[in-house]
Amino acid sequence: MPIALGLPLMAADIIHLSGIVRSPLLGSDGERMGRVEDVIARPGEQAHPPVIGIVAKIGRRQLFVPISMIGSVHPGCVQLHGETLNLARFERRPGELLLTKDLSARHLINIVGARLIRANEIEIALVEGTLEVIGVDPTSRPVLRRLLPRGLAQRIPAKAIVDWESIQPFVSHVPTAMLRIPYRKLARLHPAQIADLVEAASHEEGEEIINAVGQDLELEADVFEELDTEHQLEFLSTRTDKDAARVLATMAPDDAADLIADLDQERRLSVLEALPQPTQAKVRALLSYNPETAGGLMSPEFLALPGDTVVSEALEEIRRSPVAPEALGVIYTTDEDGRLTGTASVVRLLKSPAAARISDVADLDPAAVRPDTDLHAIVRKMSDFNLAAAPVIDDHHRMIGVVTVDDVLELLLPTGWRRDFGMTAADE
């Protein structure tokens, strides 16, 4: 039987959950039978979860009242149209969402906004004869609404409602509903955005996000790279050395080295030895340098080619290279002894004749730094020569790594800068 709103409203109008919960439950004759304790919805494939019933308290017993027995919903009361109720005690079934218990005042993930929000109000609407959960209101308006008498409270309109399609609840808040965070939703976000969510969440919520992205090892590693040191160590502390090494092996070697250096001393060696041998060798080499010098900041992953390589071959090498795409914006030229001779951007290569030698289109005698160059000298060099990446050379002028702008910025920006500027704070 269709639900009838007890208001002169259109079907698109909104009913606040706070206007239903703790309101009287009336029988079909208008007599009070009990009180509404909660509203039950069932998320599924629909854009908006349908309301399937309420939890009512009649006497000392909590009962399930199916939506088919509800005749009308008013701000301030719910009225039945049936004559009899099943008096068996309410027992929640898998897949059911209790809107007050599970969502109200809880953190939710706003996938579109890539932020945590607090569900200060759950919004319900009558859509084609069905009550549906359409979204949440994370603003302070619902708080004000609760402080006012019910009649005045209903006059405060809903603002800035976040649509349910953009929302993902945490399973830790809904233990019997088992609402797993779909990996496909988080995969739409940048790793830095996912890291922001993790940092803004509780440990339990953060673990849930990490577990969801763990379906993609590369994405999991990218997220770990974006986390601050405190959260990196927090999540690695709950993992075995083997699992920790699995994550570190997928990270960039310089980020893995930084994280191993921050581990408890008694754990460093065992995690390091659990790394695959090629990664382990790179990490060991990086750990031998002071972390605030070029040697400690550099990534050992770059693409260097002999200067007599032709442009078409260089572009093919870029396509085949296992080096991360963000490190392939510039390639480096070397002489027959492997010494650094020049740099060439990919854009310049693309604009050059395919048969030209890359040494003919490269910037010769490039600005470089030594492994022991300190942070401030690196910054001056990169600023003076307008470098997005500074090559690091040894005593024989052979290239051993590259320091990028983001490596430098991480040390120059104050600790917790993203949180201070509201990047990781939850919307309350």
pLDDT in tens, the chain (428 residues): 344 443 333 334 788 898 889 999 998 888 899 999 999 999 887 889 999 999 999 988 899 999 988 888 877 889 888 767 777 788 888 888 999 998 888 898 898 888 898 888 999 988 887 899 999 988 877 666 666 666 666 666 666 788 888 888 887 777 655 556 677 778 888 998 999 999 988 888 898 898 888 888 888 888 988 898 889 999 998 889 999 999 999 888 988 999 999 999 889 999 999 999 999 999 999 999 998 899 999 999 999 999 999 999 999 999 999 888 878 889 999 999 989 999 999 999 999 999 999 999 999 989 999 999 999 999 999 999 998 899 999 999 999 999 988 888 877 776 655 555 544 444 54
Return d(Cα 50, Cα 67) in angstroms, integer: 10
On whether the CB atoms of residues 77 and 23 are closer than 8 A, the answer is yes
Return d(Cα 356, Cα 192) in angstroms, integer: 39
Return d(Cα 153, Cα 214) in angstroms, integer: 44
Three-state DSSP class for residue 105? coil
Tell me the β-bridge partners of 97: 41
Taking the CB of residue 260, how many other CB atoms lie within 10 A of it? Answer: 22
Backbone angles phi, psi at 57, to 5 degrees: -105, 115
Question: Rounded to 5 degrees, what angle do the CA atoms 138, 140, 146 make?
Answer: 110
Tell me the β-bridge partners of 394: none
Helix (H) or strand (E) holding 269: helix 265-273
Long-range contacts of 306-309 (CB under 8 A, 24+ apart): 306/333, 306/334, 306/335, 306/336, 307/333, 307/334, 307/335, 307/341, 307/342, 307/357, 307/358, 307/359, 307/362, 308/357, 308/359, 309/333, 309/357, 309/358
Prediction pTM value:
0.74
Give the pLDDT confidence score for residue 5 in this predicted structure: 42
On whether the CB atoms of residues 301 and 327 are closer than 8 A, the answer is yes
Tell me the β-bridge partners of 144: none
CA 109 vs CA 114, 167, 209, 328: distances in Å: 7, 6, 10, 34
Return d(Cα 147, Cα 16) in angstroms, integer: 14
Nearest alpha-carbon partner for 141 in 124, 119, 164 = 119
Q: What is the DSSP letter of 333?
A: E
Question: Rounded to 5 degrees, what angle do the CA atoms 231, 233, 236 make?
Answer: 110
- Please report the DSSP string for 110-169 in residue order: ETTTTEEEE-SEEEEEEETTEEEEEEEE-SSHHHHHHHS-HHHHTTS---SPEEGGGEE-
Domains of the chain: 1-179 (2.30.30.240), 297-411 (3.10.580.10)
Backbone angles phi, psi at 116, to 5 degrees: -85, 140
Our CA dihedral for 285, 286, 290, 291, rounded to 10 degrees, sits at -170
Q: What is the DSSP letter of 346?
A: H
Give the pLDDT confidence score for residue 11 in this predicted structure: 37
Return d(Cα 30, Cα 27) in angstroms, integer: 5
On whether the CB atoms of residues 48 and 127 are closer than 8 A, the answer is yes
Across the chain, which distance is largest between two alpha carbons, in Å?
Answer: 96
